[in-house]
Amino acid sequence: MFKKFSFQENIAGQSQLKSSVQRAIRTKIQDQFPLLEPILEDLMPKRTPIIQIKGHEHITFLSVNGEILFFQHFDGPYFPTLKLLHQYPDMLPQLRVDRGAIKFVLSGANIMCPGLTSKGARMDVELPAESMVAIMAEGKENALAIGWLKMSTNDIRKINKGIGCDNVHYLADTLWKETVHV
């Protein structure tokens, strides 16, 4: 998603959200990420404004205190940034790819089913299609990508062919590299 995205060229504008809109966003994020509930007030304080940054490709970013925390495409779910995921690694279910898939994931490729079912990979949780996941790597401590499952983990095991997970945001993409303060 952010392979060819450029903040200088692709930002249409930004605005501070009304308090009612901020409450609705906080509620949606709390529903989406229940494990963040204890720290949500620290992450997005009620008295601190949320800045919405709109991109040309229907991507919206949420910034608090000059740091982008979440983004969404159209009116879809909110995705955390990898920087936020590294701070709170348990906020998403984790799937692990084998060593051979690392270089492909880091270049923006989607995650193929065999990369999730081979010897070094792990899928310890049963998840339905269209679930948000943290993509971990064999032998690595931190997540290297955030993915969106194309099929359930059960189907990934059974079919073991094709794309199992879309690569939404990965280490070294534009969102990771560019530090945007608003």
Amino acid at 65: N
Mean pLDDT confidence for 170-178: 85
The pLDDT tens digits of the residues spanning 116-168 come to: 999 999 999 999 999 999 999 999 999 999 999 999 999 999 999 999 999 99
Kindly report the pTM of this predicted structure: 0.90
Same domain assignment for residues 15 and 51: yes
56-62 CB contacts, 8 Å cutoff, 24+ apart? 56/10, 56/11, 56/12, 57/5, 57/10, 59/1, 59/5, 59/10, 61/180, 62/25
More confident call, 50 vs 178: 50
**CA atoms of 58 and 72, how far apart (whole Å):** 8
Q: Which residues 6+ apart lie within 8 Å of 132 measured at CB?
A: 77, 79, 92, 146, 147, 148, 149, 168
Q: Looking at residue 8, what is its pLDDT?
A: 65
For residue 29, pLDDT beyond 50: yes
Residue 176 falls within a domain, yes or no? Answer: no
The pLDDT tens digits of the residues spanning 10-22 come to: 788 999 999 999 9
For residue 98, pLDDT beyond 70: yes
> Do β-strands 50-55 and 59-64 pair in parallel, antiparallel, or remain unpaired?
antiparallel
Out of 81, 105, 132, a domain closes at 81
For residue 181, pLDDT beyond 60: no
Out of 40, 61, 81, a domain closes at 81
Number of domains in the chain: 2
Q: Which residue has the tokens 């990979």?
A: 121
Q: Looking at residue 154, what is its pLDDT?
A: 97
Out of 81, 99, 131, a domain closes at 81
Mean pLDDT confidence for 103-118: 95
CATH of residue 17: 3.10.400.20
Q: Which domain holds residue 149?
A: 87-170
Q: Looking at residue 3, what is its pLDDT?
A: 59
Same domain assignment for residues 45 and 26: yes
Q: Looking at residue 1, what is its pLDDT?
A: 61
pLDDT category, 179, cuts 50, 70, 90?
Answer: very low
Q: What is the mean pLDDT of the chain?
A: 91
